[in-house]
Amino acid sequence: MKRLSKRQKEVLKTIGYVGILGAAIFAPNILKILKFSKANQRYQYKKIVQKLYNEKIIYLSGERIQLTKKGLGLLKMIQTKEISIKPKKKWNGIWHVVCYDIPENLKKERDCFRRKLIESGFCKIQLSLWVYPYDCKEEIAIISQNLRISPFVAYLNTKYLPRQKFLIRFFKLNKSK
């Protein structure tokens, strides 16, 4: 399954957040969590659960629904995409550098991490070396932990970088004093 629909993501997140759900998958309280209340929505929900099961994203066992290893991986990717790194109002003159050396066997995670840096507005200054003018240590830590690549990611702070004038123009910064 390459792409998950919005509802499939909702179901996956609900299962992940709630953990192991009780017997009545189709009980009203579960439907309220998923915001499905009408009969046709219940049918859609059943189809979504069946598709996730067929794709081996969830495991159904009697009275339990659990995320499989594949499902946990997808949930982490969804959570990672939802994390936002937002610029602060003023730059304090400190550069925040993220560098990584992620092995080839984690290519999918590396690509996801790189996309997140690009989406967040980081500037690539060398291969696997990215800079951002605002503190984002917590967000980078959460993202790298979600993707299970934290041993391969380093976060550094510095007051000076080569090509600093270019970076100040790139980020449209004014140093606050």
pLDDT above 50 (res 20): no
Instruction: Quick: pLDDT tens for 40-80.
Output: 677 777 788 888 888 888 888 776 778 888 888 888 888 88
Domain locations along the chain = 6-80, 86-171
Sign of the C-alpha dihedral, residues 126, 87, 3, 70? positive
The answer to whether domain 6-80 and domain 86-171 are alike in fold is no
Q: Which fold has domain 86-171?
A: Alpha-Beta Plaits (3.30.70)
6-80: which CATH architecture? Orthogonal Bundle (1.10)
Q: Encode pLDDT of 117-166 as tens digits.
A: 999 999 999 999 999 999 999 999 999 998 999 999 999 999 999 999 99
Determine the 3-state secondary structure of 155 from DSSP. Answer: strand
Burial (Cβ within 10 Å: 0-12, 13-18, ≥19) of residue 17: exposed
